[in-house]
Amino acid sequence: MSVTYIDAIREAQETLLREDPRVFLYGQDISKFGGAFKATKGLAEAFPGRVLDSPISEDAMVGMAVGAAIEGMRPIVEMQFADFSSIAFNQIVNQAATHFYRTGVPVPITVRLPSGGTPGSGPFHSQSMEAIYAHYPGLVVVTPATVADAYHMLIDSVRLDDPVVYCEHKFLYRWLKAPRINGDGLPIGKARITRPGKHATVVAYSAMVHEAVRAAERLKDEGGWEIEVVDLRSVKPLDIDTVLASIARTGRLLALGEAFPWGGVTAEVVARVCAEGFHLLDAPPRRLNSRDTPVPYHPKLWAAHRPTPESICLALRELLSF
């Protein structure tokens, strides 16, 4: 029996609740209903009083979690959609992110953000907000792309003393499967070489890792190109050493992300590579993101809005031809 990405998130929360009495879950409709995506299904019955329904106020949800964390608890807050976390922005970036700096008292909260687009979700249920939170000192921002990372990175996030924004991709919830949850995982802040190669490097994270691999397989079949795919796994901290080591092997960089292009993770990757690894490049680095418009509702427009294997292949062909 296979394990899905959403199964891994649920199992991680079950493990944390079982092993650490300081952990509790807080969010809208997460108790008996099991959450909008059923990531907490059955946990309220298994752990009475520790899976709590919140009011429909993201600001209040995170504010309560900050207070509980200051007092020694380890709350996991579930946002129904990443987009709605903007309502809790003040609590996340002005309270949780700065509290240890101001007082020396840690705030070990984990805020789960169901991120990214799915067909028909539109502009209010599809955003990728990892770069916004990565901008602020004091926050850790993780973006698991595999079933194993969905499990291990959630456990590691809750065990950190820092506040963590855990960006889980909705498109992966039931599409991505694995035979089992393997190993202990890599530490937060360490990237993974998902696919080795020698002609170009694609640096990606979250669901775009899988699109990059699809594009790499097409280019291998098309022209024998060997594309290396680096999964960042977390965007803050950012493992620039693994990225630079990959570019030292390939000489070319495509930074790939589903978020909007302006000021995003891909821009940071390109800037860091140009500053620290310009001598390694044989071609100007490129980046590919979703279009700079709100996310459209129609599935065909949504497919044209975000990077796809086709658009990734096109960008890589141009990069390889330089």
The arithmetic mean of pLDDT across residues 82-111, rounded, is: 97
Please state whether beta strands 140-142 and 110-115 pair in parallel, antiparallel, or not at all (unpaired): unpaired
Tell whether the model's pLDDT for residue 159 goes beyond 80: yes
Go through the domains of the chain in sequence order and give each one's CATH number.
Answer: 3-178 (3.40.50.970), 192-320 (3.40.50.920)
Please give the pLDDT value at position 184. 75
Catalytic residue selected from 99, 125, 169, 210? 125
Sign of CA dihedral 100, 102, 104, 105: negative
Please give the pLDDT value at position 281. 98
Tell whether the model's pLDDT for residue 242 goes beyond 80: yes
How many percent of the chain have pLDDT more than 90? 96
What is the rounded distance in angstroms from the CA atom of residue 47 to the CA atom of residue 52? 10
Extract the tokens encoding 254: 């495509």
Tell whether the model's pLDDT for residue 319 goes beyond 90: yes
Residue 298 bears catalytic tag: no
Phi-psi region at 251: left, alpha or beta (left = phi > 0; alpha = psi -120 to 50): left
Closest alpha carbon to 272 in 203, 179, 196: 203
Tell whether the model's pLDDT for residue 174 goes beyond 80: yes
Extract the tokens encoding 25: 């879950």
Closest alpha carbon to 54 in 83, 82, 70, 75: 75
The arithmetic mean of pLDDT across residues 49-68, rounded, is: 97
| pLDDT tens per residue, range 223-241 | 999 999 999 999 999 999 9
The string of DSSP codes covering 151-208 is HHHHHHHHHSSS-EEEEEEGGGTTT-EESS--SS-PPTT--EEEE--SSEEEEE-TTH
Report the chain's terminal Cα–Cα distance, integer Å.
Answer: 46
What is the rounded distance in angstroms from the CA atom of residue 312 to the CA atom of residue 216? 9
Mean pLDDT over all residues of the chain?
A: 96
